[in-house]
A and B are shown apart, each in its own frame.
Chain A
Amino acid sequence: MPNLLDHLGRPVVAVTGIGLVTSLGKGKEANWEALTAGRSGIHAITRFPVDHLATRISGMVDFLPSSELGATALTYELAETAAGEAITESGLPLEDFDGPLFLAAPPVELDWSARFFLNTRGEGEKGTERLLDAANATGSDELFATTQFGTVADRLSDRFGATGLPITLSTACASGATAIQLGVEAIRRGEAKRALAIGADGSATAEALIRFSLLSALSTNNDVPEKASKPFSKDRDGFVLAEGGAALVLESLESALERGATVIGILRGCGEKADDFHRTRSKPDGSPAIAAVRAALQDAGLAPQQISYINAHGTSTPENDKMEHLSLSTVFGEHLRGIPISSNKSMIGHTLSAAGAIEAAVSLLTMRHGVIPPTINYDNPDPAIDLDVVPNKSREAEVKTVLSNSFGFGGQNTCLVMAREPS
């Protein structure tokens, strides 16, 4: 009989369902097959014109019915698709989840297509006046819905029967991990027996791409899209904007065992630490990331040498990969060289609000299958980053524990520690 309480006397939190959708495909199976084959989902942008753009590639999800319908519709569908798969796997009723919902999602703004629509219908000297003038007369419930930050979670709550006021959150690139952390904490505090944690991001619009481009954050390796994301390589030149969604059904181990559910893995620890240095750069000594990793290990009750594998944030920006290496070297010291560490973003790209959840899902699959997905495009190693990045080919290994890192713009850092089995 496993312990139902952890080293701090809190309920142990199990994962009983996983859902996943990325540019690699819909569902765990399709994604796992591609990830372990080292296949990239990065491709040329076709959703909008790419004239004048420095970056013309992405990891957009182009195969869903909502792919062309705007950020809110696609974010909803990505979340709904992933959550549906996760709840189905958990064996819980699909329309009566009966637990709280934590959704990591991108901030919303009225889509340009809607702005252009209103622009021709309102009176006013300036464009923004025309939009406001036309808003009430020609605005539909659906247009209104796209401007409300609570819309996607509201609809997901209706769809799956989540309880209470759902939480929609953003901690930038750490959002998906934060959603999981909030679910874990709610269960540990005894507020809920189970929680649905989702990260979803379908906001790869032209404007989003341009915004990141203006911050010099994106790769401009357009010629061979699948080679553009190359974490830890010497010639890495930025991340690749992408879309996706992942969902975890989190459940107290006690509740999972009671109802005879299959336990896929354990969410052992969460750690976070904010950075006060700069809006897009991390503190040069890496202290916030170091503190976040240490907090997660401490929360999990594990020493650094007890981690079998690290699922890196690994964005492929010059800054992140260097700082991640520095932080991990500080925490893991001499053990680091013996720990495989790979970046799913080499194949999926950076799914922003969804990334932390997607990478937690992949981490759990990594432990279950005993196979570590590779860091692809590792053809030109950065000599300053001495890591076993599981280069280019997946590797069979017994993985008992995983550390998954998420470091966000705006200085929000969140790390998760997962285990294959309860202790």
Chain B
Amino acid sequence: MSPRDVVITGIGLLSTLGEGTDAHWNALAAGVTAATADSTRFAPFTIHPAPAIEWGNQIPKRGDQRQMETWQRLGTYAAGLALDDAGFQDRETWGADMDMVIAAGGGERDVAVDDTILDAARTRNDRGVLLNEKLTTELRPTLFLAQLSNLLAGNISIVHKVTGSSRTFMGEEGAGISAVDTAAARIRSGQSTRVLVGGAYNAEHPDMLMGYELGGFLHRGALRPLWQREGAEGGGVAVGSGAAFLVLESRDSAESRGRTPYAMLGPVVSGRARRSRGELPSALADLAARTASPAEDLLVVSGASGAHEATKAEKDFLGSFPGNAVRGFSGVTGHLKEAQFPFAIGLAALAVSRNAAFPPLDAENERELTGVPSAALVTTVGYARGEGMVLVTEVD
């Protein structure tokens, strides 16, 4: 036990299952299915859309809302949920000393403008000139900022007054893993006392689907449970809109504020297996060993994406342990990309703090947990690259 142990005192979750910790827990505990999944809007692909959100609850100024594209709004909203959940309603007081590490993508382009250009390009050869002509006249000047990666952090500073250090990491799931890792390392070394960490992803945009489909990663046709997509048409991933933010804090700081943390973070372990050389299975074993997880009857909150190669490797690995109760939440939320690892940690922390595992999401491949979870292993294996794990435990 150390005063600089990293504890979780705030969780902000946003997905197709709803907003906030209770909505997510209740849905999962009730045995939620992928009923909200939408297989027609971007057919043949399936997406898990965002729930109805009253943006003004966390982003009071309409002017601020207008300055953000959807992923920034999702993130700024979930960041607010996490801050409220941690007891930081008085933003002006707490924000100045709070650090922030964001995992971000970006690039939500103006679809209407792009469609106009692409249509015109079918009958014109001077495409460079066409681009200049259309972009200089059609682009909304502030759109650039609304789609820019580091402006999720910028908006959180503006809306929620978080103005300690501000870093934005990019790089799909790996960015989320590194964000949590860096935040935890700062707290353990005494550099930070409180860090807001998280990410957001909007699935409901053609460019956001392109980022997977150019690599053939999207599942096609009727949706299947997460662990049963191998052999189906397409690449296995169904994406979801959502966001996850955590307030990480030193044990000392949480105690001094009289807050009871949800859970504690063990060492965040991560790597970059060279998958083309077949390194992934051994890399997963190596990472898991470094988390110091119990060997049996372990709750595993898996961020598996559904992507065939990565998901098979993870399934094989996790299945080799007796009594493991795996929960692949992407089957009901969709893959949340940069937010995947923080989201998984949020669910694991809820399970540990509520002394309960939610029921299997795929009865053919996930078991009931024997006993109550005093710890939960969180995994995130990137659909294309990057892997990370952390053991979330009860606060002793």
**Interfacial residues, chain A to chain B (CB-CB below 8 A):** 48-54, 105, 107-110, 112, 115-116, 119-120, 126-132, 135-136, 139, 141, 143-144, 147-150, 153-154, 157-158, 164-172, 175, 178, 182, 185, 188-189, 191, 206-207, 210-215, 272-280, 288, 408-412
Q: Which of B126, B132, B175 contacts A53 (CB 8 A)?
A: B132
Q: How close is A41's CB to chain B, nearest CB, in angstroms?
A: 23
**B178 & A276 in contact (Cβ 8 Å cutoff):** no
A52 with B150, Cβ < 8 A, contacts A207-B135, A215-B144 known? no
Residue-wise, chain B 244-275 has the 8 Å CB interface mask toward A (1 for contact) of 00000000000000000000000000111010
Q: Does B364 contact A (CB under 8 A)?
A: no
Chain A residue numbers with a CB within 8 Å of B157 are 274-276, 410-411
From B16-24, B78-86, B106-114, the one touching the partner chain is B106-114
The residues in B between 364 and 389 inclusive whose CB is less than 8 angstroms from any CB of A are 382, 384-388
A276 with B163, Cβ < 8 A, contacts A109-B207, A110-B207 known? yes
Chain A residue numbers with a CB within 8 Å of B274 are 158
A154 with B206, Cβ < 8 A, contacts A52-B129, A149-B105, A410-B145 known? no
**B144 & A185 in contact (Cβ 8 Å cutoff):** no
Chain A residue numbers with a CB within 8 Å of B95 are 276
Chain A residue numbers with a CB within 8 Å of B395 are none
**A288 & B122 in contact (Cβ 8 Å cutoff):** no
Q: How close is A179's CB to chain B, nearest CB, in angstroms?
A: 10
Q: How many residues of B contact A (CB 8 A)?
A: 83
A128 with B118, Cβ < 8 A, contacts A149-B171, A168-B169 known? yes
**B131 & A207 in contact (Cβ 8 Å cutoff):** yes
From B30-38, B211-219, B223-231, B344-352, the one touching the partner chain is B211-219
Residue among A169, A172, A214, A288 having the largest count of chain B Cβ atoms under 10 Å? A169
Q: How close is B90's CB to chain A, nearest CB, in angstroms?
A: 15
Complex Cα spacing A149 to B383, Å: 13
**A178 & B167 in contact (Cβ 8 Å cutoff):** yes
Q: Does B340 contact A (CB under 8 A)?
A: no
Chain B residue numbers with a CB within 8 Å of A158 are 274
**B272 & A210 in contact (Cβ 8 Å cutoff):** no
**Besides A120-B122, A139-B214, 20 other CB < 8 A contacts?**
A51-B129, A53-B132, A107-B107, A112-B131, A127-B119, A147-B214, A149-B170, A164-B270, A165-B271, A167-B178, A171-B167, A189-B185, A213-B136, A272-B166, A274-B100, A274-B154, A274-B157, A276-B95, A409-B154, A410-B153
Q: How close is B61's CB to chain A, nearest CB, in angstroms?
A: 12
Residue among A115, A157, A213 having the largest count of chain B Cβ atoms under 10 Å? A115
**A108 & B132 in contact (Cβ 8 Å cutoff):** no
Chain B residue numbers with a CB within 8 Å of A108 are 107
Chain A residue numbers with a CB within 8 Å of B384 are 148, 150
Complex Cα spacing A53 to B147, Å: 22
Complex Cα spacing A112 to B128, Å: 9
**Interfacial residues, chain B to chain A (CB-CB below 8 A):** 42, 67, 95, 100, 104-107, 109, 111, 114-119, 121-122, 126-129, 131-133, 135-136, 139, 141-145, 148-151, 153-155, 157-158, 161-172, 174-175, 177-178, 182, 185-186, 189, 191, 206-207, 209-211, 213-216, 218, 270-272, 274, 382, 384-388
Residue among B111, B150, B163 having the largest count of chain A Cβ atoms under 10 Å? B150
**B172 & A148 in contact (Cβ 8 Å cutoff):** yes
A408 with B163, Cβ < 8 A, contacts A132-B209, A191-B185 known? no
Q: Which of B116, B131, B169, B385 contacts A167 (CB 8 A)?
A: B169
**A150 & B171 in contact (Cβ 8 Å cutoff):** yes
**A279 & B158 in contact (Cβ 8 Å cutoff):** yes
Chain A residue numbers with a CB within 8 Å of B151 are 279, 409-410
**B166 & A412 in contact (Cβ 8 Å cutoff):** yes
Complex Cα spacing A280 to B211, Å: 28
**B175 & A149 in contact (Cβ 8 Å cutoff):** yes
Q: How close is B273's CB to chain A, nearest CB, in angstroms?
A: 10
A127 with B117, Cβ < 8 A, contacts A273-B163, A411-B158 known? yes
Chain A residue numbers with a CB within 8 Å of B213 are 132, 135-136, 139
Q: Which of B119, B129, B215 contacts A139 (CB 8 A)?
A: B215
Q: Which of B100, B145, B155 contacts A280 (CB 8 A)?
A: B145
**A128 & B148 in contact (Cβ 8 Å cutoff):** no
**A170 & B191 in contact (Cβ 8 Å cutoff):** no
A119 with B121, Cβ < 8 A, contacts A141-B215, A168-B170, A169-B168 known? yes
Residue among B213, B382, B385 having the largest count of chain A Cβ atoms under 10 Å? B213
Which partner residue on chain B sits nearest A162 by CB separation?
Answer: B272
Chain A residue numbers with a CB within 8 Å of B210 are 110, 131-132, 135, 147
Complex Cα spacing A154 to B171, Å: 9
A279 with B154, Cβ < 8 A, contacts A136-B216, A150-B174 known? yes
